[in-house]
Structure 1
């Protein structure tokens, strides 16, 4: 039988609290300034400097504004870094709105197909409830971006710029999800009426037409061809006329995305190292790339990232940015706040326990652009964020190596940096995880 809180118990706790005079000072500081401001470690803010032994110059940061497209910004940033160097561009950006349009359109189809696939299951089944909880949203993963690019290509930002709703996505998401849940009702009812798959597909086709209209009104319609015009750093004018999004990607980015792999660190009992994993019902493009990860120990993950940085290529990575970080200072450090001394109690969950007990997961994607090595070992990392220049040091953050260990979950690296053993491990058929597994979380921090 459950035990209630009694007045005696509450009185005992109050006496314990007020029995020590220093508690009043701590309480006043926290009540006036908030937990983080009252517990900040000033030593960390002065020692976590923006100086790195290995660094790639990447220019002005981007700004995802009030949207959860960090994964998309981070990936496109890694592409533009290459373009800026090769073509001598000045702070050039690729269109995040273009990939955003196709991502939301594909996610709508992915959701409707999932509704049809689960139409025999009761409405209150865990899977159906999980699908209906978020028909689509801004967040994503690296493999989802590669699926979009392989199908639709990319375009410069000047060709399909931001709109009000691309930069402020809350209302658009609400409208799309309301319509998609309404569509789910119709599809499940048609299925219960015994309609054929052909009739269900026709109904879905009509639904997708409506979704396309909503997206076109809010984001604009993606171009089929365009002219690419720019002046390089030498003030030389260039024009490429009538180019398609696929042609643009091949000519100006030219990366073989099949050569890039997602490496994760998930130190939980159910995910042995050296194995690959995928997640049920995680994706955006039907027929696109399957989400796939190779789980390794943290030291291996970091060494792979270091190799790519030394090879002059930036690294897409996913982390839990909200933990022990400060947006204004642009610092991520496990020593940044001293909660233990302030509250007089330990906070000692391991990384694996935080995953298992839903205390942490991947929430945000950014780009590693540098690392500081001391005797070959990293002690801090340079991070390019996508929150504009007002956050951190003109948009750049510094991450301690200890924070990297505890709150970074994924990096994307070229296969050439993998050892032969890791390449063999990558080629394994992935173990399928449940849709709600924490490794399937999407990067979508605003």
Structure 2
């Protein structure tokens, strides 16, 4: 069947239909002068949202990732900092996000180069290799990647490796790193033998280390730690390595957490992984356990009630009012604006590439009515300027449609779900949307 071009009669018909539609003309006047999010905002839904919660954990300030895609690192470190702040006796505490990013990028460069060596016989238009080349150095990541970085490289307080211009705005640094890695990829693929390829990898890693030190500062191999607590009491712990600090001041074990996902395209109580998804060579495989979304909600609420915030990943930009800090699955009446139906469900939106995980944050509260969640409180990492000093409110309808994963302790899982962790993971291709990295 040959493709049918748009003809002049077709365009004349469309022009007449639009001109005869009084509602369309009214919306044209509105949308050419104001943003869609303001025109489509459903006031009835908006005014039904309040920010009070039956269970709320946060009494701290939000962090700010600024012009970077480090949300997954911020969310992971924010999960850990609540217990550490309590252990230190301080109200607010931050781990160095710059330190975690430095080693993520260093490890990611090595992961990329080793993968290029493994795929050296593939054509450059091979879909797996093309996916690897396209996203060789961004800021985004997943829960398992966060755990892998801090397990290997430890943690330091923000004072030991503070932010820089490049950590707060990563675009130029990432662009340079991609140039370095793409050049190395070409050199590896034309190298004569394995020894030559290994030498290219080694030389490139030296270049990456040098570039990262220039942009982010040199990460400390040890630092001197002392602090004053909320009662004005002074404490000194002396010289510590990042691993010693991690082991001494963490109150939860991230290695005990599992990543639960809601992927309605695939069977539940099965494990999945994505080809070439990772950052640390030699770290445990990135594994998802697919479960029903209602179980994810139940576990999220239980963890909050037990006093622990919950790391989660979602498609953040959907049905969002950023200024007010609200999410609801019906917040924007797009069907009313465009006079059409949007009928893709969550599975179809994944299948047709309309949605994927784009951002990671923390659940810090839940509003329960007769044991069922009505709405959720969210700690974002976009600073205090929006929402309720950076804390957002998510109606439960939005959780069902746009939340894709949470990190939960293995001990919180029902026996039949825990047993599913022992199944051999189904390998999804490198380009599958479940391999998307949170990086908004």
TM-score, normalization by structure 2: 0.98
Q: Provide the residue aligned with 2:410 in structure 1.
A: 415
Q: Provide the residue aligned with 2:340 in structure 1.
A: 345
Structure 1: tracts of 5 or more residues without a match: none
CA-to-partner distance for each residue in 1:364-397, whole Å, 9 max, x for gaps? Answer: 0000000100111111000000000002110000
Is the CA contact 1:146–1:289 (under 8 Å) kept in the aligned structure 2? no
Alpha-carbon deviation of 1:235?
Answer: 1.0
Residue 226 of structure 2: SS of its match in structure 1? strand
Q: Provide the residue aligned with 2:419 in structure 1.
A: 424
Structure 2: tracts of 5 or more residues without a match: none
**2:10 aligned with 1:28:** no
CA-to-partner distance for each residue in 1:213-267, whole Å, 9 max, x for gaps? Answer: 0000000011011112211111111111111101101110143222101000010
1:7 and 1:239 map into 2 onto residues whose CA distance is 79
Q: Provide the residue aligned with 1:324 in structure 2.
A: 319
Residue 247 of structure 1: SS of its match in structure 2? helix
CA-to-partner distance for each residue in 1:25-52, whole Å, 9 max, x for gaps? Answer: 1211111112111111223333322211
Is the CA contact 1:97–1:219 (under 8 Å) kept in the aligned structure 2? yes
Is the CA contact 1:308–1:414 (under 8 Å) kept in the aligned structure 2? no
Alpha-carbon deviation of 1:415?
Answer: 1.2
Match of 2:360 among 362, 365, 378: 365
Q: Which moved more, 1:50-59 or 1:170-179?
A: 50-59
Q: Provide the residue aligned with 2:86 in structure 1.
A: 85
Q: Provide the residue aligned with 1:201 in structure 2.
A: 198
Is the CA contact 1:45–1:329 (under 8 Å) kept in the aligned structure 2? no
**2:238 aligned with 1:241:** yes
RMSD: 1.0
Q: Which moved more, 1:18-27 or 1:175-184?
A: 18-27
Q: Provide the residue aligned with 1:117 in structure 2.
A: 118
Residue 405 of structure 2: SS of its match in structure 1? strand
Q: Provide the residue aligned with 1:177 in structure 2.
A: 178
Is the CA contact 1:330–1:391 (under 8 Å) kept in the aligned structure 2? yes
1:240 and 1:126 map into 2 onto residues whose CA distance is 51
Q: Provide the residue aligned with 1:223 in structure 2.
A: 220
2:123 and 2:20 map into 1 onto residues whose CA distance is 55
Is the CA contact 2:81–2:94 (under 8 Å) kept in the aligned structure 1? yes
CA-to-partner distance for each residue in 1:406-444, whole Å, 9 max, x for gaps? Answer: 000001011111011011012212111100111010000
Q: Which moved more, 1:336-345 or 1:367-376?
A: 336-345
Q: Provide the residue aligned with 1:310 in structure 2.
A: 305
Q: Provide the residue aligned with 1:290 in structure 2.
A: 285
Alpha-carbon deviation of 1:363?
Answer: 0.2
Residue 175 of structure 2: SS of its match in structure 1? helix
Q: Provide the residue aligned with 2:155 in structure 1.
A: 154
Q: Provide the residue aligned with 1:134 in structure 2.
A: 135
Q: Label 1:257 to 1:426 Cα distance change in 2 as closer, same or farther (>3 A).
A: same
How many residues are treated as equivalent by the alignment?
Answer: 439
Is the CA contact 1:371–1:381 (under 8 Å) kept in the aligned structure 2? yes
Q: Provide the residue aligned with 2:399 in structure 1.
A: 404
Is the CA contact 2:273–2:288 (under 8 Å) kept in the aligned structure 1? yes
TM-score, normalization by structure 1: 0.97
Residue 158 of structure 1: SS of its match in structure 2? helix
CA-to-partner distance for each residue in 1:342-362, whole Å, 9 max, x for gaps? Answer: 221111210000000000000
2:244 and 2:252 map into 1 onto residues whose CA distance is 12
Is the CA contact 1:143–1:291 (under 8 Å) kept in the aligned structure 2? yes
1:230 and 1:16 map into 2 onto residues whose CA distance is 70
1:424 and 1:61 map into 2 onto residues whose CA distance is 36
Q: Provide the residue aligned with 1:64 in structure 2.
A: 65
Residue 68 of structure 1: SS of its match in structure 2? coil
CA-to-partner distance for each residue in 1:182-211, whole Å, 9 max, x for gaps? Answer: 011111111xx2x2x333212211110011
**2:106 aligned with 1:105:** yes
Match of 1:437 among 402, 424, 432: 432
1:3 and 1:312 map into 2 onto residues whose CA distance is 60
Match of 1:301 among 284, 296, 315: 296
Q: Provide the residue aligned with 1:6 in structure 2.
A: 7
| Structure 1 outlier segments of 4+, above 4 Å | none
2:383 and 2:318 map into 1 onto residues whose CA distance is 20
Alpha-carbon deviation of 1:20?
Answer: 2.4
